[in-house]
Structure 1
């Protein structure tokens, strides 16, 4: 990083409560996947409430490379995707578009159904811990795909129609569950997936596929059954709102002593977060159009918190909330059970004046994969502490927004480097900061 790299730097003058209202649109963890699902249809699909974020642009480019016509619809935030002329794409073009995202691996099943082959380059994404792509390739092999690993990526073939199968995931991975859904719907016979992820975004993807003609059932024991069909149509669907972005702005209100109305935020998908928010001392009011989040005044409460797969406390909620916990009275305990490296962002917070100690032990009662593997995956946050502005380099999407919150809550000015990474999942965040009265500028 040099002083000339100003295009990706933000100057943040902290100490001003964020106040006002902003709007969140469709979920980053649903919209790109629903766009991939359009590949499976015989006719056009319409997806509404689409945010203008980088992951959407990446998938749009990849769809177009494969012959899908993508255009804006009649209403703002609507995409119309026509897959009637799906074709193979050049390896170099795929690699150029896909290097910054992990979404391309979800193209495998649809492309195997449409073309009989697919190519997946090396995958990007946030460096927050292991996200083994082996889950995906193991799943595809069970459906009958042949996979050839080469220097530039993975080549997949399906010389015959893919076959339904029984799959048990070793961990309820969201990505692997999506892979099974997008592959099983046109596979021959029944697919039974156990230990599946059941996040709201997974349910919304199932709704999309059901609208296309898929037959999918969800049981209460994390079992999903998909009966393959011979044909799928296009869909018309409005994406569910982004509960992860909504929670980020809620934590920003809490950390800065602010008051933010998040239009589009939905209570049902955020119930677990809202309970924790209230325990910390945050106030919220659910309205017809969204949720108002505010710091009611007085001290915040320390808490014990463990992340978990849905319906537990989402790992993407953890990092922004930890910034708010630096302002709570007493010792807060955070046990991260989903991504082993997600607490690495706290080092920069300590340099700003926070007191956060990391531990390799499991500081919580939830069974954890990391307890005996030497990962710093538990944290003790001592507060309240006065944060001071500093030099911050964004490590990943949620960590990046958390640094932004810390800079806004701190005294003095911070230089936040790598700010463009936030565009992966937060639509028009600079404009939203302006609406909330944040004092930010490009150097």
Structure 2
């Protein structure tokens, strides 16, 4: 199968699809299994490339993994964890940033860890120094080598007190996975409290960890000497659900997303309604649809949870090109997330990006020369184009634009979309999309 797709737009997406476990949780729960000295079972696992990458990394380190792909069940036995060869880690990790999260668990289990140079989506700085600084505070010794970074813990890992300058999801995950077996108490201030983080805490508690979360973004962890395995069903992927919701809005369609849940999507649902979309919450999912008539322009600011999620922004911007008036979107989480709008402008959208903080409070990017605000003028008819996917969420946004546009678009690099959207071409077919993936 090639890395491109031909999409003929103009057809409303209608039908029912299923969303399984959250990409941003499942891979982290798989890493957590390394901490346990017994078998673990994770259910509701999606068929995405990130899962395959982490599965490969776990197997390299001696974890026995049984994957029921159709049933969405992963069984992981970490009884015999072992060191892996540098070249093998590098080959399996690819562009993923997951290896940095293996460091804490491997330091506990083996006394050492190695990570290759890291890749990932090019949407912002996302420095790994944050992670390395956290590991150093626990007592890790970091040795930077030509092939990557080697870590040791000659005196073991000990609890520490850390305040994050920004509630980073990755840094919070790193701390949790390291602190649960560190000696003593760890306190993290200004922690991320996203639903995926809370579900990771649920998993760690099932394994035997002692973790408390205060209302003021403070997480306290009392280290324990050993952890067991876990049995857990992953929470649904709220990013994928919102992406399909935005596709329904942009194409004037009607999509029932089985597995979508209201509590994790409240901020998105409010905004979806303000734009003019309608939704109905059922026991097994949420129906998202365009009720007809005009869509309304909005002023929107992304934020950490419980605010409007940055990963929801890109797909929704495509729908906002079809709204009447001027919409303002202020991105406060990633500094370079508006690169995807260039392709939309090439398809006929009227979008201007700015370095200033527009539509809300000043943010940490305001004085740093990043294009992190956008003004979208609509409605503008979209015309087919030739597009290259820049990153995971931007790529799905381009797919939505192609589905809404007049004519046949060619979208290159769609392999990136497979990283976070399970069987997305099968879902497009189920919704009646007109496409060909050669």
With the length of structure 2 as denominator, give the TM-score of the two structures: 0.99
User: 3-state SS of the aligned residue for 2:280?
Assistant: strand
**More off after superposition, 364-373 vs 198-207:** 364-373
CA distance in 1, matches of 2:205, 2:405: 47
1:301 alignment counterpart? 296
| Corresponding position: 1:54 with 2:35 | no
Gaps of 5+ in 2: none
| Corresponding position: 1:129 with 2:88 | no
Aligned residues: 438
1:382 alignment counterpart? 377
Post-superposition Cα deviations, 1:248-296, rounded to whole Å, max 9, x if no partner, equal 0000000000000000000000000000000000000000110000000
Runs of 4+ aligned residues of structure 1 deviating over 4 Å after TM superposition are: none
Gaps of 5+ in 1: 1-5
2:365 alignment counterpart? 370
1:124, distance to aligned residue in structure 2 (A): 1.1
| Corresponding position: 1:336 with 2:354 | no
CA distance in 2, matches of 1:75, 1:148: 41
Query: Which of 272, 278, 281 is residue 283 of structure 1 equivalent to?
Result: 278
1:367, distance to aligned residue in structure 2 (A): 3.6
Alpha-carbon contact 1:99-1:122 (below 8 Å) kept: no
Post-superposition Cα deviations, 1:308-328, rounded to whole Å, max 9, x if no partner, equal 010010000000000000000
| Corresponding position: 1:417 with 2:412 | yes
Match runs of 1:162-241 below 5 Å: 162-241=157-236
CA distance in 2, matches of 1:291, 1:122: 40
1:366, distance to aligned residue in structure 2 (A): 3.0
Query: Which of 106, 109, 124 is residue 101 of structure 2 equivalent to?
Result: 106
CA distance in 1, matches of 2:68, 2:79: 17
1:442, distance to aligned residue in structure 2 (A): 2.1
1:99, distance to aligned residue in structure 2 (A): 2.2
CA distance in 1, matches of 2:362, 2:80: 48
Alpha-carbon contact 1:46-1:73 (below 8 Å) kept: no
CA distance in 2, matches of 1:100, 1:436: 31
| Corresponding position: 1:253 with 2:248 | yes
| Corresponding position: 1:37 with 2:17 | no
Alpha-carbon contact 2:35-2:105 (below 8 Å) kept: yes
User: 3-state SS of the aligned residue for 1:42?
Assistant: coil
1:151 alignment counterpart? 146
2:17 alignment counterpart? 22
CA gap 1:25/1:102 in 2 versus in 1, 3 angstroms: same
1:73, distance to aligned residue in structure 2 (A): 5.0
| Corresponding position: 1:400 with 2:415 | no
CA gap 1:73/1:409 in 2 versus in 1, 3 angstroms: closer
1:440, distance to aligned residue in structure 2 (A): 0.7
1:170, distance to aligned residue in structure 2 (A): 1.1
1:365, distance to aligned residue in structure 2 (A): 2.2
| Corresponding position: 1:89 with 2:84 | yes
1:75, distance to aligned residue in structure 2 (A): 7.7
CA distance in 2, matches of 1:100, 1:85: 27
Alpha-carbon contact 2:112-2:150 (below 8 Å) kept: yes
CA distance in 2, matches of 1:303, 1:51: 33
CA distance in 1, matches of 2:208, 2:69: 24
| Corresponding position: 1:325 with 2:320 | yes
